[in-house]
Amino acid sequence: MITKTTPSLHCLNGKSGENNADGQQARTVKRDWQTALSEAIRDPRELLTQLKLPVSLLEQSSLSPTFPLRVTQSFIRRMQPGNPLDPLLLQVLPLNQELKDTDWGSLDPVCDQHAMQGPGLLHKYQGRVLLVSTAACAIHCRYCFRQHFPYQQANPLGSQLPATLAYLNAHQDIHEVILSGGDPLSLSDERLSRIVEQLDQIPHLKTLRIHTRLPLVLPERIDANLLKWLQATRLKVVLVLHINHPNEIDQEFAESIAHLQLPGVSLLNQSVLLRGINDSAEILVSLSHMLFEVGILPYYLHQLDKVQGAAHFEVPAETGVKLLAEMRHKLPGYLVPKYVKEIPGEPAKYPIFG
């Protein structure tokens, strides 16, 4: 059970109002998020040692130079030591199976590059555009559909920012801008604030959507600077988190996410249906309940995008349809996510009904 709290903003600025044993006010320093990010594990051997798992598992590990291991200490703390099948570990541990799946899937499974109207500017759906804002992320999920994306050649926010803003100004039917990546919250608050200020000046824009996993895997990211620019924008903010399993939600995350429950900010979640991780109605029902408990609404359950190297995560759509039917029996409608897949060329995410 997660205890829902409403922590004071003083904690975000490095102060706590609690007294110590001597009656003096204690001071709790919240670590800088960049420091916490720098402590992410990149070596599979170090991860296995930390989890008290045999290093013989390295024989099953892929040492891909293009998409190496990366996982934060906060996310590791939620894994079960000694369990090689821990559902959080399986999402991040590179396996040799990735190198055997080269005949399955694509390097660009959702045709991002075909949809680019400029470097990193994707205009797939009516009324909204997506900006692939950065390659950086705090965690490398092994099923990531953008693990092969040409980030260096496709950055809409660097030298291309004037062209990006010109495109947005010229298309008055666009009402929503989506920041994605990588993870947009890997960028500094100073840079994000400047970008959002420029978006604010485009009158037909109404909504800013941010797709991120950082608040989950790096709770330190939710700090006073982040909240400042989120509250300063005139745009309606939608924060879409990525949480796949109830074990990912712990007290540390619950306390941090409470700060984002602000006027004008909507918190949604999207999950990916993954074999051996969350392909169980019991797990998915528990996830929906825990999301709601910490103030987040389930939004999408995605069928796995067929990215090369991820075949071992695939769950048949027929199985997903049965899982959703079970969820509908056990949950109120507002806690049942939409089961969808992305089909290149379709005008929206495609609902899967069976």
* Residue matched to tokens 């499974």: 109
pLDDT class of 321 with cuts at 50, 70, 90:
very high
Q: Which two tokens stand for residue 323?
A: 């899982």
pLDDT class of 275 with cuts at 50, 70, 90:
very high
Residue 110 has pLDDT above 90, yes or no: no
Nearest to 93 by CA among 124, 127, 64, 118: 64
- If you average pLDDT over residues 265-275, what whole number do you get? 98
pLDDT digits (tens, 9 = 90+) for 153-204: 888 888 899 999 999 999 999 999 999 999 999 999 999 999 999 999 999 9
pLDDT class of 3 with cuts at 50, 70, 90:
low
Question: Which residues is 302 bridged to in the sheet?
Answer: 272, 340
pLDDT digits (tens, 9 = 90+) for 111-146: 888 888 999 999 999 999 999 999 999 999 999 999
Instruction: In whole angstroms, give the CA distance from residue 113 to residue 278.
Output: 30
Instruction: In whole angstroms, give the CA distance from residue 338 to residue 301.
Output: 6
For residue 149, the model assigns a pLDDT of 85
Q: Are strands 176-180 and 207-212 parallel, antiparallel or unpaired?
A: parallel
- The helix or strand, by DSSP H or E, that contains position 326, with its residue range, turns out to be helix 317-330
Domain 112-351 is in which class? alpha beta
pLDDT digits (tens, 9 = 90+) for 141-157: 999 999 888 888 888 88
- Spatial CB neighbours of 343, under 8 Å, sequence gap ≥ 6: 350
- What is the separation of C-alpha 290 from the centre of its chain, rounded to a whole number of angstroms? 17
pLDDT digits (tens, 9 = 90+) for 76-102: 999 999 999 999 999 999 988 887 767
Q: What is the pTM of this model?
A: 0.90
pLDDT class of 61 with cuts at 50, 70, 90:
low
pLDDT digits (tens, 9 = 90+) for 26-55: 334 457 999 999 999 999 999 999 999 998
In the chain, where the domains are located: 9-100, 112-351
Nearest to 147 by CA among 207, 101, 190, 202: 101
Instruction: In whole angstroms, give the CA distance from residue 150 to residue 58.
Output: 29
